[in-house]
Amino acid sequence: MGVRVRVAVVDGAVGRGAVHAYGVPLLAVLGGAIGGSAMAGEAGAICGALIGLLVGWLGLRRAHWRSRGDSRFQPSLRR
């Protein structure tokens, strides 16, 4: 108890993670809404946004699954 440690991550890892976590679903929702709106008006936009959100979430889940063992994305403890 009382030992100080530092949590270290690779430069830029937090920023890239934030872009992936927020940017990918946002772009997927917007793309789905625009595509759905072009095909079926307001109802299509709502359905397209929901489908885009699902696709974005599945894409993030797949990316997380593929990078789970990559040491570049794992924090390390330093004394």
Residue-wise pLDDT tens digits, 20-59? 899 999 999 999 999 999 999 999 999 999 999 999 999 9
Residue at 73 is within a domain: no
For residue 61, the SS3 value is helix
> In the predicted model, is pLDDT for residue 79 greater than 80?
no
C-alpha distances (whole Å) from 35 to each of 25, 71, 72 are 15, 38, 36
Which DSSP category does 74 fall into? S
Query: Which of 12-16, 34-38, 61-65 has maximum average pLDDT?
Result: 34-38
- The total domain count for the chain is 1
Q: 79 lies in a domain?
A: no
The reply to whether 6 falls in a domain is no
pLDDT of residue 22: 94
Are 33 and 49 within 8 A, CB to CB?
yes
pTM of the model as a whole:
0.76
- Which amino acid type is present at position 61? R
